[in-house]
Amino acid sequence: MIKVGILGVGTVGASVANILEENADIIEARAGKKIVVKHGVVKNLSKDRGVNIPLSDNVDDILNDPEIDIVVELMGGVEKPYAVVKKALESGKAVVTANKALLAYHRYELQEIAGDTPLMYEASTAGGIPIIGAMRNGLTANHIESIQGIMNGTTNYMLTKMINEGAKYDEILKEAQDLGYAEADPTFDVGGFDASHKLLILASIAYGIDAKPEDILIEGIENITQTDVTFAKEFGYEIKLLGIAKKVENGVELRVHPTMISQNSMIAKVDGVMNAVSVVGDRVGETMYYGAGAGGDATASAVIADIVDIVRGNHGPMLGYKKGLEGSGLELLPEEEIVTNYYLRMEVDDQSGVLASITRELEKFNISIESMLQKPHSNDERVKLLFTTHKCQEAKIQEAMVVLKKLDCIYGEIAMMRIEK
Ligand code: HSE
């Protein structure tokens, strides 16, 4: 019999305990051994957790229990779970974690500490979708060319409602929180940080890139307006908050930002709280994974898959490789060197010569306009100008925006969104 201890019996922890009990027959058949939860640890013992397992409020009740084989870490946070997971691994206990923030900051140290002791984390990325298993095992023969995905359900729900129903930002954020998908601090969702944690985990498996959230380009959905939504619709785009990892000539691009993508692409059709990840391998071509990115049972499904793999002895190295990947070593491409197409939105005087002065400035940066739309403004003397550009370098568009903002004919901030073709 295998004994499990759960640190953090919230929504996911309670689902783990209940599924292990309710689906015990098939789980035992698949694992080859009976798996029981011996103990759970919570912060607040007075709250009813809806589980049939003994609870206490002291992590040492699990860490110091020699009978517990597998520790499931569902505490949240970064430094406290790091100390706890380290202690569990050092005492030879296998660990399963759903904690993406912990891994975004400490995955390489934990890999070192774990050595041959299993440390599994399927639930950390895209909830119930078995993307970690797919990348560590199923795609192991491939050089990964790109990963592109909707890795945050809250923002996908919000964007879907904004685009399909014209819903207001604050109201839908509240709705997403009520659905139980949003992080305790929703700025993690809307600011793109939650998605960045997941992207960094995938980028380590695919490319061996040891970066932290602070090292990569992260933008949230806070500044998207109905004007952007209208433009996207008219030009055949959908707006999605994407996590993108892409191998290019000089390194690997890692970025999270709202993105205009063709309405015909599969990812564009992923609506509501669902997640989807497309991975392109050099041999297999494009593969795509879709499913619930959060929620108690969906996330617990991934946690239990890890427990079963550990019991079967199927775990392998934490990041899927023992030595460095890609012989020459792939480096994170500096943000300024990213090359893509851009969308710009600005408010300008409705006068002759305005367009000419804008394109004159863009020409100085060698930025070429691909399409353009003019929309009325509430002030009759102004209009909204919306452009897309041909491919150019991030540094050029950023510099051009600074120069454009200084023109007398342009008012307020210039909004920018990246386009993926
Ligand atoms: N807040 C996350 C989301 C939960 O909305 O997808 C899963 O990490």
Q: How far apart are CA 55 and CA 84, in angstroms?
A: 17
Number of separate domains in the chain: 3
CB 324: neighbour CB atoms within 10 A?
A: 10
Q: Which two tokens stand for residue 290?
A: 């879709």
What is the SS3 assignment for 267? helix
Q: Are residues 121 and 154 in the same domain?
A: no
Among 78, 96, 129, the domain-final residue is 129
Positions in the chain short of pLDDT 70: 326-328
pLDDT confidence of residue 326: 62
Sign for the CA dihedral angle at 144, 208, 138, 270 comes to negative
User: Looking at ligand 1, which atom is closest to the CA of residue 182?
Assistant: 1
Closest CA to 365 of 397, 407, 409, 408: 397
Query: Quick check: is 319 in a domain?
Result: no
Among 97, 129, 161, the domain-final residue is 129
Q: Are residues 216 and 287 in the same domain?
A: yes
Strands 410-420 and 339-349: antiparallel
pLDDT in tens, 254-304: 999 999 999 999 999 999 999 999 999 999 999 999 999 989 999 999 999
Q: Are residues 214 and 236 in the same domain?
A: yes
Whole-number Å distance, alpha carbon 154 to ligand 1 midpoint, is 6
228 lines ligand 1 (CB under 6 A): no
Q: Which residues are registered as beta bridge partners of 274? A: 292
154 lines ligand 1 (CB under 6 A): yes
Query: Quick check: is 316 in a domain?
Result: no
Query: Quick check: is 322 in a domain?
Result: no
Domain membership of residue 346 as a residue range: 335-420
Q: Are residues 80 and 63 in the same domain?
A: yes
No. of H helices and E strands in the chain?
Answer: 14, 17
Which residue type does 389 have? T
Q: How far apart are CA 186 and CA 12, in angstroms?
A: 18
pLDDT confidence of residue 328: 55
- Among the listed residues 93, 100, 161, 198, the single catalytic one is 198
pLDDT confidence of residue 26: 98
Q: Are residues 112 and 49 in the same domain?
A: yes
Q: Are residues 25 and 125 in the same domain?
A: yes
Exposure string for 36-65, b = 16+ CB within 10 A, e = fewer: ebbbbbbeeeeeebebebebeeebebbbeb
159 lines ligand 1 (CB under 6 A): no
Q: Which residues are registered as beta bridge partners of 256? A: 218, 243
Query: Quick check: is 212 in a domain?
Result: yes
Sign for the CA dihedral angle at 395, 399, 405, 409 comes to negative
Q: Are residues 258 and 402 in the same domain?
A: no
CATH number at residue 374: 3.30.70.260
CATH number at residue 152: 3.30.360.10
Q: How many residues does the chain have?
A: 421
Closest CA to 33 of 64, 59, 69, 82: 69
Q: How far apart are CA 290 and CA 284, in angstroms?
A: 18
Q: Are residues 37 and 23 in the same domain?
A: yes
Q: Are residues 250 and 264 in the same domain?
A: yes
- Of 172, 181, 200, the one to substitute when testing ligand 1's pocket (max ligand atoms within 8 A of C-beta) is 181
Atom 7, ligand 1: which residue's CA is nearest? 294
Query: Quick check: is 285 in a domain?
Result: yes
293 lines ligand 1 (CB under 6 A): yes
User: Looking at ligand 1, which atom is closest to the CA of residue 127?
Assistant: 7
Q: Are residues 141 and 287 in the same domain?
A: yes
Q: What's the pTM value of the predicted model, to 2 decimals?
A: 0.96
Distances (CA, A) of 101 to 105, 106, 130, 181: 6, 9, 18, 16
Q: How far apart are CA 40 and CA 52, in angstroms?
A: 10
Asked whether 45 and 109 are in contact (CB, 8 A), the reply is no
Q: Which two tokens stand for residue 374?
A: 């003019």
pLDDT confidence of residue 224: 94
Q: How far apart are CA 243 and CA 245, in angstroms?
A: 7
Catalytic site includes residue 421? no
183 lines ligand 1 (CB under 6 A): yes
CB 353: neighbour CB atoms within 10 A?
A: 10
Q: Which two tokens stand for residue 358?
A: 């804008």
Q: Are residues 93 and 147 in the same domain?
A: no
Q: How far apart are CA 411 and CA 421, in angstroms?
A: 30
Strands 70-73 and 2-7: parallel
For the chain, the C-alpha Rg in angstroms (whole number) is: 24
User: Looking at ligand 1, which atom is closest to the CA of residue 198?
Assistant: 8
**Dihedral of the CA atoms 402, 261, 230, 152 (nearest 10)?**
-90
Among 129, 160, 189, the domain-final residue is 129
Query: Quick check: is 311 in a domain?
Result: no
Sheet holding 70-73, edge to edge: 55-56, 35-41, 2-7, 70-73, 94-97, 119-120
Atom 8, ligand 1: which residue's CA is nearest? 294
Q: Chain-centre distance of CA 229, in angstroms?
A: 22
Place of tokens 């990947």: 325
The string of DSSP codes covering 308-352 is HHHHHT----TTS-SS-SSTT---BPPGGG-EEEEEEEEEEE-ST
Q: Are residues 139 and 280 in the same domain?
A: yes
Query: Quick check: is 260 in a domain?
Result: yes
Residues 6+ apart with CB under 8 A from 99: 73, 74, 75, 76, 77, 81, 121, 124
pLDDT confidence of residue 344: 97
CATH number at residue 19: 3.40.50.720
Query: Quick check: is 20 in a domain?
Result: yes
CB 345: neighbour CB atoms within 10 A?
A: 21
